[in-house]
Structure 1
Amino acid sequence: MFNFRNRFTLAIFALTIALIQPTVIAQESDAETALDDFIHYALIANVEFTDAYALALVRDAMSNEDFYKMVIATKERHQRFDRAIGWALFIEDLEPLASMLEDKFEAGRVSVIRNAENLAESIELLNGSTRQRILADERLQEAGEYAVPLLLRQLQNGSDVRGVKNAREMLTRLGRDAVLPLSSALPNVDAETKVLVAKILGEIGYKHAAPALLICANNENNASDVRTSAQAALGMLGVSTQASNLSALQTVVANRFYDGETSLQPQPIGGLNLFWEWDAGNQLVALDVPSEAFFDVMAMYFASKALSADADNAAAMGTFVGANLRRNRALAGRDDLVYGDLAYSPEFYATVFGPRIAQLVLTSSMNDSDTPLVLDSIAALSETAGAEALLGTSSQPIVVAMNYPDRRVQYEAALTLASTLPEDSFEGSYRVVPLLASAIRQQGESFAIVVGDDADARREIRAFLSANNWTVVGEGTSVDEAITSAGAVAGIDLLVGLTRSVEHGQIITEQASLLPNTMVTPVFLLAEGTDEQVLSNMLDGNSMVAVTHLDKSDSTRLAIIEDLISLAAGGRLSFEEQSAFSTRALAVLRDIALADSVLRVEDATTPLVEALAIADADSKVVIAETLSMIDSAKAQGALVEAALASDSTETQVMLLDESASSVRRWGNLTGDWQLARVVDLAENSSGSLADAAARLNGALNLPNTSVMIFLP
């Protein structure tokens, strides 16, 4: 273990070396030697010296660019550095410094790539010797789309035939990375360059260039050779100029970005992608877009273009609305250089076009298991849709949402649908009131299942979860077995998997993603040995899964679980959230009881009775009013019992009056043992309480009540 004593011993040792052998430290303290020593000691697993040289590198004043160039000076050093960093990141004592070195290297790489002088030098080298051309190709390939503006400028220089040829070939080799900037440039360059750009896009072969090519081919203002080149390029992409509808084609591309097709994304540099515009200075301009928002920004762009071509394109509008909501969430308050100046909020666009668009977003988001977007679309529907809009389509996505395996979604869907008080029967109506009842009953509980071969290990995890406010509802050797043992619950909030191997971890993750009850459940895998790192690398980028070592402390496990739940499902359902759901559900159940709806409030009788005993004063009023409208001896008896047991005069009067309301509506359903207590309360109380007891006694119309007990 690398502790303070070890660190102190190392410091004394280093000081001794510095005094006795200055050539080791003092004379060779330059950054390059420190780098080589860091790599060496990391690769022989010497934690103490790796830490010392990592610290020296972090403290060195050299720029990020110089550090990056030093690391990649030779292919061997670069490869050894990657291995050294990979190992150091796995060692707890080294991880902070290793992360800083990794960030320094990446910052340097980004700086070199974005340096216009470096790019121009590389483009010039395309005209040089074979070795220079190979070096230039490597540099420009790594630069990706950042190299396109300068290559395009070279392409436009018709007087340099060799330069034009080299630029064209290089742009073609860039492939996918060149498609979006060239597509943005195509309408704006001169005719000769349009011909070349169209040919390059056709040769690259990516279909998201098709809308730009179709516009070019159909633009009668373009020269015939330009249009012919664009048509030929479309043919190479398998797109017909005659059969293609521009708006439909742009919608297809928008949806491919919306679906996150990785083949469309240029290589991110430093966590950023680029959005390309053509500015007034007749050149391509790049706007930085965080990689996590890139697909949604591009989906919005192509969807907006599709709407410009056809304002009635509902599919494009749905894509725009969904991508806009996701983009806003992904950016989490960071600046958006592309769509940050929209006149209206994402919520405005989600509601202004009516329920149809929100239902399209709801359907697609459920298909994608995008729980936050599902909730956003339901929120939009709750503001705009009535029963006819929600239930008038064959797909009825709001009904489907009540079976979505996430408790927030189920509750919100049931609340949204129930609040419209539907009068006509519909498939799935039987789930609405039980879900509202569940919202009343659950008091901040979070449900988990445990999967693993070893029963003792499962019991240990069950105890750990239970000690930290989780309710373990099921366990088993497989995901399916654990779900079966869980029975009927409102939603499984966490799956903990005890893996015996890398393959087993993959199986658990895959099963969870395929089964309806867990397809949106965050998965927390516990692994041993090197399996942890292997699984972490394999599942990197999957926001639904977190992996850690089986021997991690309870506090570390809890922190990882909370981060996972927050990222994958918006966090645990807190007590405050559950209380809010309960309050909303009570109000809606009262509305159902008052209305002539197909929904049956009677199905919530038991939860309402249970809630009456523990609710606060305000909730008791709503619950009592609702119970009074249920034709049930259980409901009426609970009201009378609560009235007799209450220690608050104000609450007792309210409960007595609601009991009387129940009796007036449904007749005397009260038990004999309660009747005598009602009479006794009327006889032995005074003031408003006596008046309320008298009203209930009168409603009960007891034939054997003696007149004399109430007379002076």
Structure 2
Amino acid sequence: MYVPCALACLLLGAAPAGAWQITDDMVGQSEEAWTAWQAATTALDRDEKEEAARQFDTVGAMNLSDLRLALMADRTGSLRLEQWARTEDAPASVRALVEKILAGRKQKALAEDGWHFAAIGRFKYADANFKALAESNPDPVGLLELARANPNRHTILIKLITNADVGPSAKRFLELLNRGEELLRMDPYEIATNIRKLGGPQRMAYNAAKRLKESGEFAIPHLIQFLQDPEQRQLHPAIIQVIPQIGRGGLNPLCIALETSDNVTKKVLIDSLGRIGYKQAAPYLAKVAADAEASPECRAAANQALSTLGVGGGNVGGLFFELADAYYGNAESVKADTRRDVANVWYLRDGELRLVEVPTPIFNDIMAMRCAEEALIANADQERATALWVAANFRREAKLGMNVESDKPDVLAAKDGTRPDDYPRSIYFARAAGAKYNHMVLARAFNDKDAGVALGAIAALSETAGAAGLVGREDIKQPLVQTLAFPNRQVRIKAALALGRALPTTSFSGSENVIPVLAEALAQSGKSAALIADPDMEQANTMQAVLRAAGYDCAIGASLNAARESARRVGITTYDLVLLAADIRQPDVMGAVAELRKDLPTAATPILVVVKEDQMSAGRSATRAAAGVEMVPADIADLGDPAKINEQMMNRVLRASQALGMTTLARDLSMDLALQSCDVLRLIGESNLKVFDFSRAIPALVGALASTYEPLRVRAAHALALGASGEAQQALASAAMNAERGPEERVAFFGSLAESARRNGNLLGNSDAVARLIEFTMNEADLVLRAAASKALGALDLPSNKASEIIRAQYKG
């Protein structure tokens, strides 16, 4: 017969108190809290209210969760406590404690009733219970105790994930239980308790070893402390057996712990690493084998472990570089658990292992830097290790959302607790390294399509290298030129700016691509383009409206290929964002993500997967398939407020961009790049060098005269003055006589037309533009504009006697 949870709690509340010991089913129960609770209830049973109040105050001060208090209360019974709380003389702390117990019992009832309704097929009722439970912010470890009370409960939740009525709330419940598992395996008290249980009966020791394995790296510091404690000598044999059983999860702290000066402990750790069998440990073992200060036993053990791993230990620096390269390449054997938001970086400080939590995306970069440092300590002349360190440092900052081109302090740096507060910016180290190493860094960035690293390397090259250091026939100097074909627009333009400013005097492979990329910067006006692939046209149109409001031009198709064809028809050739419906076909969303990442133009483009409520699983799979992929809910437009809709959408775009190590090419940035491109084109035009063909920039400069941004129009005109073509002079004349522009801007345009005429002569001939200019110069009411026009007219040096005509026109007798 099923007893509703609320009734069960009442029955338990009436049960007699007992001095029970902590048992295996008391998941995550603090012994200190349990002891104080039992002392309090025992005192209350004896009517020793003063002592009971003192002990209950001790429990209250522990800030236990409502559910944990309810679990303890239901084990001992709490009827007398609840009766006391209702009396006038009850301390406020006792009343508060009972309120928390009752709240915890409500959470317990919601969980157990939800499981019951799910088991009998009443899914809507189960859903209501699970939703209310999640909204009550329950203790995940306490929920874990409830789940483990019946092995079927976890199975029920897994089966419910695909259920239309209760699936999302069941999934949320499972996420809470997973969080409980994570908290439990990190709990120092739980770990220490399990280590002590290794000395217990066989079954107890077996379960304790199993839980220590689940604790993974978190167990290693405690196991080492017990190993070094002579009073725990009886546990040492069991500890020596259990350390290698933890396996790969314990590798990082074990490797770092080899720095210990305790040779007895060191040998145990060396033997454990050999038994675990991962080559990740090889550089650390080789370092011990080569350490003259290590004991002969430790050195011999390290060599034996290396032999077991099939690795020669002679080249410590080379082994550390290989490991650094594996970390940088995000090799499966060394990468952090992507299911967690943070990863642990271990250090040995004052003889103790200590961890620093860092955002998971930067873990591999930090470890790559640490291993590169070890490689350089072993061999200071390893150029590849230096370049890898610089690249990893750039990538670390880029993933934190920092501007890798800046040397100014940034509050985002605080997210990385492995760096001190006054740590220099990544650009500082890159500048100091010099051109050679930054070319090596840029080569990595190009191969990886890593925009953040590329931007940092280009910035360092721009500020420290001249033409001879940027271009040449040597292989080492090719990456900057290759980057002109980088999939990310900002990187392409930055590379072209660097090459253009250098004004190389001799031609080089790829020089013909510099002007077109600078022209690309002028052609884009700050308005981004998005590709939308969605078979649901209503949903696609909704997303298009959201993106258009955010400043995007859009192309829509029912599939990825259809969307690409649509973009081609409307003249969109590059995309700043791709939206994929979770249910697209041919290819499906996973195939589309893979295809986009393989295609050079979209290899570093942010991707958003549009998910409906029942498509979360497919969306999450897509986000794990590649970097720079985020989910966006299909009902985002239901937020109503356009500002909130835009904020939610752009936050997701920003996260995807940061995961790719890039910043969104927003209007301000695009205009800044366009202005810089105008200045560099002007510089190239003035140089008269034959390396670059300035004429290829004229159409883009002409187009920029129609920009909505006045400074860009003026700077484009200034550069266009150097273009020896009738098209350039025609465009300048039209812009100067455009009455919709401001007077100062028009004066600047007339000045550019005059300069063009002085440099290149009259390329307008007898066109209509000449007649209009004469008419303007003779009749314009604004004398400042007339004066500016007269300079341009005079510079054109027209063959007819226009001066006489102007003099006669002003004659009044």
Pair in the same fold by TM > 0.5:
yes
Q: Are 1:150 and 2:240 matched, yes or no? A: no
**Is the Cα–Cα contact under 8 Å of residues 246 and 309 in structure 1 kept in the other structure?**
yes
Q: 1:11 aligns to what?
A: none
Return the match for 2:284 from 212, 219, 223: 212
The aligned amino acid for 2:114 is F
Return the match for 1:283 from 352, 357, 371: 352
Residues 140-178 of structure 1: CA deviation (Å, up to 9, x unaligned): 011111111232244446897763332122111111122
**Is the Cα–Cα contact under 8 Å of residues 639 and 659 in structure 1 kept in the other structure?**
yes
Return the match for 1:226 from 298, 306, 310: 298
Residues 228-263 of structure 1: CA deviation (Å, up to 9, x unaligned): 11111111122213xx32222111111211222232
Tell me by how many angstroms 1:205 deviates.
Answer: 1.3
- Taking the TM superposition and a 5 Å limit, the aligned residue runs for 1:342-421 are 343-392=423-472, 393-394=474-475, 396-421=478-503
**Is the Cα–Cα contact under 8 Å of residues 632 and 649 in structure 2 kept in the other structure?**
no
Q: Are 1:492 and 2:575 matched, yes or no? A: yes
Residues 486-510 of structure 1: CA deviation (Å, up to 9, x unaligned): 2885632223335356972222222
Return the match for 2:773 from 678, 684, 706: 678
The aligned amino acid for 1:352 is A
Q: Are 1:660 and 2:742 matched, yes or no? A: no
Tell me by how many angstroms 1:307 deviates.
Answer: 1.9
Residues 32-62 of structure 1: CA deviation (Å, up to 9, x unaligned): 44322123345646345543465357648x8
Quick one: distance in 1 between partners of 2:541 and 2:622? 28
Provide closer, same or farther for how the CA distance between residues 56 and 652 of structure 1 changes in structure 2, counting only shifts above 3 A.
closer
Q: 2:86 aligns to what?
A: none
- Taking the TM superposition and a 5 Å limit, the aligned residue runs for 1:597-616 are 597=689, 598-614=691-707
Q: Are 1:699 and 2:768 matched, yes or no? A: no
Greater shift, 649-658 or 202-211, is seen at: 649-658
Q: Are 1:185 and 2:261 matched, yes or no? A: no
Provide closer, same or farther for how the CA distance between residues 88 and 38 of structure 1 changes in structure 2, counting only shifts above 3 A.
farther
Q: 2:679 aligns to what?
A: 587
Q: 1:471 aligns to what?
A: 553
Quick one: distance in 1 between partners of 2:679 and 2:151? 68
Quick one: distance in 1 between partners of 2:187 and 2:709? 65
Greater shift, 480-489 or 324-333, is seen at: 480-489
The aligned amino acid for 1:644 is M
Q: 2:83 aligns to what?
A: none
Return the match for 1:435 from 494, 503, 517: 517
Residues 601-644 of structure 1: CA deviation (Å, up to 9, x unaligned): 21121221232244655444432332221110111222223333
Tell me by how many angstroms 1:447 deviates.
Answer: 1.9
SS in structure 1 opposite 2:737?
helix
Q: 1:325 aligns to what?
A: 394
Q: 1:315 aligns to what?
A: 384
The aligned amino acid for 1:366 is F
**Is the Cα–Cα contact under 8 Å of residues 35 and 57 in structure 1 kept in the other structure?**
no
**Is the Cα–Cα contact under 8 Å of residues 559 and 587 in structure 2 kept in the other structure?**
no
Quick one: distance in 2 between partners of 1:270 and 1:88? 27
Residues 639-692 of structure 1: CA deviation (Å, up to 9, x unaligned): 223333456554444433332322222222114133333333444458554444
Number of residue pairs matched by the alignment: 686
Q: 1:9 aligns to what?
A: none
Q: 1:7 aligns to what?
A: none
Provide closer, same or farther for how the CA distance between residues 187 and 438 of structure 1 changes in structure 2, counting only shifts above 3 A.
closer
The aligned amino acid for 1:628 is A
Tell me by how many angstroms 1:81 deviates.
Answer: 4.7
Tell me by how many angstroms 1:454 deviates.
Answer: 8.3
**Is the Cα–Cα contact under 8 Å of residues 544 and 564 in structure 1 kept in the other structure?**
no
Tell me by how many angstroms 1:542 deviates.
Answer: 3.8
What percent of counterpart residues are identical? 27
**Is the Cα–Cα contact under 8 Å of residues 631 and 652 in structure 2 kept in the other structure?**
no
The aligned amino acid for 1:444 is G
Q: Are 1:523 and 2:617 matched, yes or no? A: no
Q: Are 1:544 and 2:544 matched, yes or no? A: no
Quick one: distance in 2 between partners of 1:618 and 1:551? 40
The aligned amino acid for 1:68 is L
Quick one: distance in 2 between partners of 1:451 and 1:198? 54
Q: 1:512 aligns to what?
A: 596
Return the match for 2:727 from 621, 634, 643: 634
Residues 308-329 of structure 1: CA deviation (Å, up to 9, x unaligned): 2233322222222222233334
The aligned amino acid for 1:578 is S
The aligned amino acid for 1:374 is A
Provide closer, same or farther for how the CA distance between residues 528 and 253 of structure 1 changes in structure 2, counting only shifts above 3 A.
same
Return the match for 2:203 from 111, 131, 135: 131
Quick one: distance in 2 between partners of 1:56 and 1:452? 35
Q: 1:8 aligns to what?
A: none
Tell me by how many angstroms 1:437 deviates.
Answer: 1.8
Greater shift, 109-118 or 449-458, is seen at: 449-458
The aligned amino acid for 1:522 is P
Tell me by how many angstroms 1:186 deviates.
Answer: 2.0
**Is the Cα–Cα contact under 8 Å of residues 325 and 347 in structure 1 kept in the other structure?**
yes
Q: Are 1:567 and 2:661 matched, yes or no? A: no
SS in structure 2 opposite 1:174?
helix
SS in structure 2 opposite 1:255?
helix
Quick one: distance in 2 between partners of 1:573 and 1:544? 15
The aligned amino acid for 2:702 is V
Greater shift, 384-393 or 139-148, is seen at: 384-393
**Is the Cα–Cα contact under 8 Å of residues 643 and 652 in structure 1 kept in the other structure?**
yes
Q: Normalization by structure 2: what TM-score?
A: 0.75
SS in structure 1 opposite 2:475?
coil
The aligned amino acid for 2:600 is P
**Is the Cα–Cα contact under 8 Å of residues 338 and 360 in structure 2 kept in the other structure?**
yes
**Is the Cα–Cα contact under 8 Å of residues 501 and 531 in structure 1 kept in the other structure?**
no
Provide closer, same or farther for how the CA distance between residues 614 and 133 of structure 1 changes in structure 2, counting only shifts above 3 A.
closer
Q: Are 1:578 and 2:670 matched, yes or no? A: yes
Q: Normalization by structure 1: what TM-score?
A: 0.85
Return the match for 1:77 from 148, 153, 159: 153
**Is the Cα–Cα contact under 8 Å of residues 540 and 556 in structure 2 kept in the other structure?**
no
Residues 202-228 of structure 1: CA deviation (Å, up to 9, x unaligned): 111111211221121122333333221
Q: 1:260 aligns to what?
A: 330
Quick one: distance in 2 between partners of 1:188 and 1:350? 33
Tell me by how many angstroms 1:476 deviates.
Answer: 7.2
Provide closer, same or farther for how the CA distance between residues 298 and 464 of structure 1 changes in structure 2, counting only shifts above 3 A.
closer
**Is the Cα–Cα contact under 8 Å of residues 110 and 270 in structure 1 kept in the other structure?**
no
The aligned amino acid for 2:673 is F
Q: How large is the RMSD of aligned CA atoms in angstroms?
A: 3.8
Q: Which runs of 5+ in 1 are unaligned?
A: 1-16
The aligned amino acid for 1:80 is I
Provide closer, same or farther for how the CA distance between residues 79 and 358 of structure 1 changes in structure 2, counting only shifts above 3 A.
farther
Q: 2:763 aligns to what?
A: 669
The aligned amino acid for 1:46 is F
Greater shift, 682-691 or 575-584, is seen at: 682-691
**Is the Cα–Cα contact under 8 Å of residues 637 and 671 in structure 1 kept in the other structure?**
no
**Is the Cα–Cα contact under 8 Å of residues 609 and 629 in structure 2 kept in the other structure?**
yes
Quick one: distance in 1 between partners of 2:585 and 2:712? 51
The aligned amino acid for 1:679 is I
Provide closer, same or farther for how the CA distance between residues 236 and 86 of structure 1 changes in structure 2, counting only shifts above 3 A.
farther
SS in structure 2 opposite 1:663?
helix
**Is the Cα–Cα contact under 8 Å of residues 640 and 655 in structure 1 kept in the other structure?**
yes
